[in-house]
């Protein structure tokens, strides 16, 4: 299948081995992301940049690819969404304006501060998940009070801003927020994150960011196929193995994303 796809794209831009490299990076990074509920940018975004793709083009391409991840994950777990449509509408209604705002100001803000902030948050989530042994393992019908609902919507808007300006880790934040606010288990929360953040938030951010830097069609073909198949496969694994595997993967990915962003921030400060 990969060979046939290569025949459909401009070989002069992407060699056979580079195409396979892009596909494999997308597949494996999105498989882990589908299990943990976020973090695809940990491998995919740096890999694109290291392969010579300019930063803003890499960011917008990555976001388009994570839409495919959201579709793949949602397709496998769509039955988990039917009872949470009202929450999904809240995430979209209050989160999308944040995404648009974040994507609009990304050219005017210092990346290292955002990386540092999100890195610290991701590491904190990993530590919290590690010491909260029962977190996200069981699902309950927790109806938050008015104050907690307002807090949830404000935080969703703020995470949306981060999503529009940074491509790593925001899905993890939404996943843990759903677990803490509504008492969801990991599988239920991740299904909702894929549907809202993976598809609609990332598509909106990708469209706005693509206006900053053009997106290569050749690059997108392999990213999208790798992301979709990785998302579906990861969602399938998480459904088979259950919340214990998801929680462990979530904790590991949070640590890795946090360390990666923290290191990137320090390097930017020193350069």
**SS3 readout for the chain:** CHHHHHHHCCCCCCCHHHHHHHHHHHHHHHHHHHHHCCCHHHCHHHHHHHCCCCHHHHHHHHHHHHHHHHHHHHHHCHHHCHHHHHHHHHHHHHHHHHHHHHHHHHHHCCHHHHHHHHHHHHHHHHHHHHHCCCCCCCCCCCCCCHHHHHHHHHHHHHHHHHHHHCCCCHHHHHHHHHHHHHCCCHHHHHHHHHHHHHHHHHHHHHHHHHCCCCCCHHHHHHHHHHHHHHHHHHHHHHHHHCHHHHHHHHHHHHHHHHHHHHHHHHHHHHC
Q: Residue 7: its pLDDT value, please? A: 43
pLDDT value, residue 6: 41
Task: Give yes or no for residue 14 having a pLDDT over 60.
Answer: no
9-23, 161-175, 187-201, 214-228: range with lowest mean pLDDT? 9-23
- The residue extents of the domains of the chain are 14-270
Mean pLDDT confidence for 149-167:
88
Q: What average pLDDT does the segment 242-267 reach?
A: 75
Which one is predicted more confidently, 125 or 200?
200
Which residue would you say has higher pLDDT here, 238 or 104? 104
State if pTM tops 0.85: no
């Amino acid at each position: 299948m990969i060979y046939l796809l290569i025949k459909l794209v401009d070989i002069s831009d992407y060699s056979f081995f580079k195409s396979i490299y892009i596909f494999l990076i997308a597949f494996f990074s999105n498989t882990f992301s589908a299990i943990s509920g976020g973090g695809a940018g940990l491998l995919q975004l740096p890999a694109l940049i290291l392969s010579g793709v300019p930063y803003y083009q890499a960011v917008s391409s990555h976001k388009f690819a994570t839409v495919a991840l959201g579709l793949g994950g949602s397709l496998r777990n769509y039955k988990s969404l039917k009872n949470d449509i009202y929450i999904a509408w809240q995430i979209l209604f209050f989160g999308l304006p944040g995404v648009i705002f974040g994507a609009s100001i990304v050219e005017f803000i210092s990346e290292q501060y955002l990386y540092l902030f999100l890195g610290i948050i991701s590491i904190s989530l990993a530590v919290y998940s590690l010491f909260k042994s029962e977190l996200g393992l069981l699902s309950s019908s927790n109806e938050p009070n008015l104050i907690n609902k307002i807090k949830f919507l404000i935080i969703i808007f703020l995470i949306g801003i981060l999503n529009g300006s940074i491509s790593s880790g925001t899905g993890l934040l939404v996943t843990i927020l759903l677990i803490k606010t509504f008492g969801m288990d990991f599988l239920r929360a991740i299904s909702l994150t894929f549907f809202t953040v993976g598809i609609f938030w990332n598509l909106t951010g990708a469209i706005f960011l693509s206006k900053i830097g053009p997106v290569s069609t050749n690059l997108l073909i392999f990213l999208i196929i790798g992301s979709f198949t990785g998302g579906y496969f990861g969602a399938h694994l998480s459904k088979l193995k259950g919340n214990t595997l998801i929680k462990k993967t979530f904790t590991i990915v949070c640590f890795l994303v946090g360390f990666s962003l923290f290191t990137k921030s320090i390097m930017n400060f020193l350069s």
